[in-house]
Structure 1
């Protein structure tokens, strides 16, 4: 995903000069990409399997978590090809494969950003909407489907632009030894700015405003709840428990967003501000791709439902034995079951 150099010097006689001073310097981003791709592929496939198989995880918010995992799986699938390209001085596979790698990386990373925006808006509605009937009306299957389409549509438009116009062209970049876009002198910085503008500022603003409003609302509501007379509410303890679960879920998702922004910001800031070829952009793009492996780690360590689902996958044999019928006394057969109220399912992620 590294952008072409935009300076006049870089477009002159030194256009094909690589930013890497030695082969050892190439091995760092390449190795990091290989490791992140392997971890991310396994982790995100586990997230997808958990959501598909565990009913408690089949919630409105997890529709976007599922979509995010799909985008990250695609990223981790094509990223190793980019790692192979970095290690060589020339393209070692067909040009169409190189173009496909660039297309997929731009599309999937853009979709990942939009998924986090949808998750933030979903959490804002879920936390600040008092009536859950209103929450269900605002997030109907039709509206969710439309939101999923929106997560993919703008990145696809940006990624398709080089294929349908002469604005830019996908191919092998000898400066960064990577599969990315190639442009003429007049178009280079413009396409880089198009990617940066479509993928970053609006999404960052929505994320910031959404979680700021959630924070202010939670602080205000927590104070008012603590000041109420518990004798006036027979189910205050249950309400409080479910409310704390909502807040905990939102905190976990906010952590995902923070980590993503830390991985995302360096790349887009360098892309927009640095106008000369720099190895910093290569390392920033490696960090950006590596983020695809971080989200499953956060889920596995902080989210209780995902932890349980992942543990069940690891100990699938033991889980299969626990699902066998248990013979009860006097010939009766019973099954171990777990019950959850609809309200709990609505508040879980």
Structure 2
């Protein structure tokens, strides 16, 4: 039943709110407190977890690889997400709307969109990085992943989301600020073009990246299977140079196994992100469902604190460095 038609529910909301046709999705103030608590917990875990990832790469020379440049970029995006979550907590708990300057709310919404898009685009870059590293010659990898080109890729991961986030600021498509429906700093649902902007965000941050990720990992799996079959006849050492051949094959095998383990770890990260992102992107383009949007968004935000746990339990290098830092 609509909360606005209930006297008891009305007592939980300020009478000074703007009179709009928006539906306030929170039935009671206790529900808003629950949402704020979940956001606060996610912010704390994400801040310390992703901070640990960044510190680990800084302290450990072994972790300073090309792939981990993108891993750090992903952690930085999650760190910024964690730093923006307190603004959402303030908005959700505020009894009289947004209590701080409007520009701060607009900035928070802008950064949240940037971080969301950066995470998705960075995961696509990680998938391509693993694809080139495992399936292409070493010279190809070295040519493609130079310092300048990697810097350009990182700029791209932030530039595309920023260009999407700035659309409401320079055009009539959408509006950033305090949304009176969800009590959050995001794009306003009261804007007549909010549906168009929601579709724009969903299309820009989901299908292209998803396609790149799926194709990359499918090609990696095919290459690993093909390569494994091709080296089976060569496992037995030759009579003339058996010791040397076996030793070289053993080194190559360990390197290959290590790359596969790292790729598996990053694939877990991708899977976790897609599981958290998919419901949010779907709900943006599906009519209705206003009551669950905030909870789907919380699932998306929860992804910001998952990755460090995956690194700590699955990644062969991060696991050791985390243990050294913490203990």
- CA deviations 1:164-192 (Å, max 9, x no partner) are 22222211111111111126664121111
Contact 2:174 2:192 in 1 (8 A): no
> SS at 1:68's partner residue?
helix
Q: Report the equivalent of 1:103.
A: 110
Unaligned runs of 5+ in 1: 1-11, 316-349
Aligned residues: 302
Residues 41 and 117 of structure 1, relative CA distance in 2, 3 Å threshold:
same
Contact 1:230 1:236 in 2 (8 A): no
Verify: 1:312 aligned to 2:288, yes or no. Answer: no
- CA deviations 1:17-63 (Å, max 9, x no partner) are 41111122223322221111101100111111111111100001011
For 1:115 and 1:63, locate their aligned partners in 2 and report how far apart those are by CA, in whole Å: 10
TM-score (norm 1): 0.83
For 1:264 and 1:307, locate their aligned partners in 2 and report how far apart those are by CA, in whole Å: 26
Give 1:13 shift.
Answer: 6.6
Q: Report the equivalent of 2:57.
A: 51
Q: Report the equivalent of 1:180.
A: 186
Q: Report the equivalent of 1:297.
A: 309
Q: Give the counterpart of 1:196 among 197, 202, 212.
A: 202
Q: Give the counterpart of 1:284 among 296, 301, 315.
A: 296
For 1:194 and 1:16, locate their aligned partners in 2 and report how far apart those are by CA, in whole Å: 21
Give 1:138 shift.
Answer: 2.0
Q: Give the counterpart of 2:160 among 154, 158, 161.
A: 154
Verify: 1:258 aligned to 2:258, yes or no. Answer: no
Of structures 1 and 2, the one scoring higher in RCO (CA 8 A, sep 6+) is: 1
Verify: 1:61 aligned to 2:41, yes or no. Answer: no
Contact 2:179 2:189 in 1 (8 A): no
Unaligned runs of 5+ in 2: 1-17, 239-244
Contact 1:51 1:58 in 2 (8 A): yes
For 1:36 and 1:186, locate their aligned partners in 2 and report how far apart those are by CA, in whole Å: 32
Q: Give the counterpart of 2:231 among 213, 225, 231.
A: 225
Give 1:229 shift.
Answer: 3.4
Q: Report the equivalent of 2:122.
A: 115
Q: Give the counterpart of 1:247 among 260, 263, 272.
A: 260
> SS at 2:185's partner residue?
strand
Give 1:296 shift.
Answer: 0.7
For 1:134 and 1:224, locate their aligned partners in 2 and report how far apart those are by CA, in whole Å: 22
> SS at 1:195's partner residue?
helix
For 2:174 and 2:22, locate their aligned partners in 1 and report how far apart those are by CA, in whole Å: 18
CA RMSD between the two structures: 1.7
Q: Give the counterpart of 2:76 among 70, 75, 82.
A: 70
> SS at 1:230's partner residue?
coil
Larger mean CA deviation between 88-97 and 190-199 belongs to 88-97
Verify: 1:140 aligned to 2:146, yes or no. Answer: yes
Give 1:287 shift.
Answer: 0.9
- CA deviations 1:118-162 (Å, max 9, x no partner) are 000000001101x32332112111211111111011100011111
For 2:31 and 2:189, locate their aligned partners in 1 and report how far apart those are by CA, in whole Å: 26
Larger mean CA deviation between 169-178 and 109-118 belongs to 169-178
Contact 2:23 2:181 in 1 (8 A): yes
> SS at 1:227's partner residue?
helix
> SS at 2:100's partner residue?
coil
| Deviation beyond 3 Å, 4+ runs, structure 1 | 183-186
